[in-house]
Amino acid sequence: MSTEIKLPLVDVRKACSACALGSFCRNQTKEKRFRTGEILIKANSVLSNIIIIKQGAAKSHQFLATGKEQIINFYLPGEPIGFNAISDRLHPHTVSALIDTTVCEISFQHLLSQISYDPHLQLLLFQVAKNFPSLEFDYHYSAAVSTAQRLATFFIHLANRLNQSNIPYPFDLPMKQQDIANFLGTTPETISRLMAIFQKEKLIGFTKKKVSFIDVDGLQLV
């Protein structure tokens, strides 16, 4: 896109240092910009590129038979999108921009061509898969766990990912409370109430969509 858009999440000068493939992708990528709500990847589209969030944030989601949206995952700066499509070569979910977002695209075929004779790249891709676990729905977010514990786990995972991507506080939370509620299988009102409790107990610092701190040790006791 030629239109300049506001990209509040992560200083552009620090964006590449947060990139999961930063040591490999220089001069190998194509940059694209998306406005809030625009689709980065369509479900069932063929895997042609690995996408890295440079600035902004995105969500993967699907629509149930009832027409209701179900959020599967969130992506932050430095995190790759597309590795879950490698086995079938098809993207399983739609990915949309949560806020105005810039991404870097790396040709998947180019990656494959380099892997065979670049042991460093093989190790790098293994580390990417290991060090950037998704927030995809698992037992920790299931109905068998209390909503407070689910939200605590969400913020613990968020803190770990901010640390891995070298994203400093204060951090602009890119997802709305209704997005978090959708992901955790609860209501926005419940998320709002629990976040107020977490703030009161100094487990998180949150003001005007900015997260100033996350007490991981304290949240583990919820």
pLDDT digits (tens, 9 = 90+) for 195-222: 999 999 999 999 888 999 999 999 999 9
User: pLDDT confidence of 20, banded at 50, 70, 90?
Assistant: low
**Model confidence, pTM:** 0.85
Q: What is the mean pLDDT of residues 35-46?
A: 98
Where along the chain do its domains lie?
12-134, 138-221
CATH class of 12-134: mainly beta
Long-range contacts of 8-13 (CB under 8 A, 24+ apart): 8/99, 8/100, 8/172, 9/55, 9/56, 9/57, 9/76, 9/77, 9/99, 9/171, 9/172, 9/174, 10/54, 10/55, 10/77, 10/167, 12/54, 12/55
Q: What is the mean pLDDT of residues 136-161?
A: 83
| Higher pLDDT pick, 180 / 164 | 180
Given a cut of 80, is residue 80 above it in pLDDT? yes
Q: What is the pLDDT of residues 94-141, one digit of tens each?
A: 999 999 999 999 898 888 888 777 777 777 777 666 655 555 556 556
Q: Give the model's pLDDT for residue 113.
A: 82
Given a cut of 50, is residue 41 above it in pLDDT? yes
Topology at the third CATH level for domain 138-221: Arc Repressor Mutant, subunit A (1.10.10)
